[in-house]
Amino acid sequence: MREFSPEWGKIKEAIQRIFHNGGLKLISLGIAIVLWFFVTNYQDPETILTFNNVPVKLLHTERVTAEGKMFIVLDESDTIPVVTITAPRSVVDALAADNVVATADLIDMTEDNKVPIAVNTNKYGGQIKSIEGSIKHVLLSIEDKKMGTFQIETAINGKVASGNQLGQITMEQNQVRVTGPASYVDRIKSAGVVVDVSGADSSISTNAEIHLYDGDGRDMDLDDLLTLNIDKTMVKVEVLAVKTIPVKIAVSGTPAEGYRLTGETSVEPGRIKVAGKKSVLDNVSSVSIPSSDLNVSGRNKNFVRNIKISKYLSSGVTLADGEEDNVKVTVEIVPMEDEKE
């Protein structure tokens, strides 16, 4: 008969103790596991967290642009309305909006121009049970790339100070080139800048922003679809002073034999408004029609002439807005016998 060593006896005794009441011990182990899960979920339960308006970053856009095409995002589908995350409370409490990362890779674009959206977080990824966006795809429209050139027009807003008027308007650059999807470029009717002159009593220089307008005159939203070669241009708006001055005349020559000048003359209008730089107008007090243009030699009746007054204005002086470039000059001539009477 084989004999066992004392050590074996001890091992046997230990094994018997371990398996003594084995069923009870298995029940105890199961209860312990259940209690562990209960305590864990009680202290750090799963919680649902939502983030609104999560932007989607588009990857590998060169798949489209390298072919001379452009894409337009439809229905604002590059923004996920709601992202829902399920995770333990301790994780949820540590997440912020900038931890949610949404991407759409154009390499995965389908034939109908849908790009699948992948939503993840940049931390605690292994502890998150689920993360899901309320939309699954970015929807694109693919178009030809087009360029158009437009003349820049100037629009004036407001009124200059009393006693002034607008002068010449000049732009450093008067054309803009616009590049974008063909359907967007085709909508552009004109380009322009707006300059506010409210209350101005001196000339204005401003770097004005360029706007694009559609056929209904509405300002188009440039966003990222339309690219301008320049987005501003320097505009100079001249503001001129306005002054009222008298019209003076001088008469030359002798009427026909038997006729004379009475000395009565008239100018209609007798005063006109002129415009110019204030420094120039300060030295202007009147405008004169020279006698060489009012020669009555050989006349036997009243001398009447309509004259363009602008040609007699000094350099740097113009007629003010709304002024007629015409004055009527009358020089009275009567027979000599009228004097005897």
**Tens of pLDDT, residues 292-302:** 999 999 999 99
| pLDDT at residue 42 greater than cutoff 60 | no
The pLDDT tens digits for 141-191 are: 999 999 999 999 999 999 999 999 999 999 999 999 999 999 999 999 999
State residue 341's pLDDT score. Answer: 47
Q: Tell me how long the chain is.
A: 341
Give the pair of three-digit tokens for residue 3.
Answer: 């004999």
- 230 in helix, strand or coil? coil
Tell me, what DSSP letter sits at residue 218? P
Is-above-0.75 flag for pTM?
no
Q: Are 128 and 121 spatial neighbours (Cβ–Cβ below 8 Å)?
A: yes
Predicted confidence band of residue 50 (pLDDT cuts 50, 70, 90): very high
Phi first, then psi: what are they for 260, rounded to 5°? Answer: -145, 165
Predicted confidence band of residue 44 (pLDDT cuts 50, 70, 90): confident
Give the pair of three-digit tokens for residue 126.
Answer: 């292994």
Burial grade of 227 (CB within 10 A; 0-12, 13-18, 19 or more): middle
Who contacts 326 (Cβ-Cβ below 8 Å, separation ≥6)?
306, 307, 308, 309
Residues 279, 283, 285, 286: what is their CA dihedral angle, to the nearest 10 degrees? -100
Predicted confidence band of residue 23 (pLDDT cuts 50, 70, 90): low
State residue 18's pLDDT score. Answer: 55
